Amino acid sequence: MTDLIRRDPDAVNFPPFETEDLRQNLARFLDTPFDDPSGARPFVGNYRWGVYAFFDYDGEPIYVGQTNERLRTRIRRHLTNQRTDAVAMSVLDPFEVFEIEVWPLPQFQESSRSDLAARQHLDALERLITERAVAGSQFKAILNEKDPPPGDLAVEAPPSFRSRIVSERVHELRSHPDFRIARRSLIISRLAQVISERKVQGGLRRVLLTQAKRLQWLSARRYEALGGAASVPVEGDGEE
């Protein structure tokens, strides 16, 4: 008998299955050894400086960010109960994240946050990864509320690590298109409510537009896969 069967949900303080599963798989991702150019193999989540990108169940890039406080800290803050503005404002839905890719910057591991060269390099890398994400998206947009910091420095992308953070069991639950349509509609509703209640800048409205396009695309794909116009009954057919 498994622990999940033995547990009494009314008597034990433990998170729901999907939450616990996410934490376990995210920890596994962050604790994956990374082939550092120095020859060392530190855990990927232990790099202080780096850029990360989230991808949905269709492989679509949906969010790009940067950190100089450790990849582990920043990514966990997005996807667990340590909420960020992006999650709190319904810009990013953790339920949409299927894969993560990270680009660590080991050369700045000992650099302080005030290191100007390190910050400029980090900003330049975020610009590069964002440009690639937007170019690789069929919507030519991602869900970031803000654009990367401007600058003239150009850098090359360092080696990266990409892997899924969703187990097969959770994939079965969340990958169904109707579930994703319902979830995406919910997030759009929440975001629209945020916009209606506050004086917001154009970034949030751009996210709303992008999410609406993503919802329309997924709904259309599902509709056509089930027969499209041919599946729509004609009024009176079969009626007495």
Residue 222 has pLDDT above 70, yes or no: yes
* CATH fold for the domain made of 13-173: GIY-YIG endonuclease (3.40.1440)
Q: What is the pLDDT of residues 164-206, one digit of tens each?
A: 999 999 898 889 999 999 999 999 999 999 899 988 889 999 9
pLDDT at 82 over 60: no
Reading across the β-sheet that carries 161-164, which strands appear in turn?
A: 61-67, 50-55, 99-104, 161-164
- Strands 161-164 and 99-104, by their bridges, are antiparallel
Tell me what pLDDT residue 202 has: 93
pLDDT given for residue 1 in this prediction: 42
CA-atom Rg of the chain in angstroms? 21
pLDDT (tens digit per residue) in 51-63: 999 999 999 999 9
Q: For position 229, what pLDDT does the model report? A: 95
3-class SS at 66?
A: strand
Domain extent listing, the chain: 13-173
Whether the predicted pLDDT of 101 surpasses 90: yes
Q: Is the pLDDT score of 238 beyond 70?
A: no
Percent of the chain with pLDDT over 90: 72
Q: Which of the four pLDDT bands, split at 50, 70 and 90, describes residue 111?
A: very high
> From CA 51, how far away is CA 46, in angstroms rounded?
13
Q: How many helices (H) and strands (E) does the chain have?
A: 8, 4
Amino acid, res. 51? V
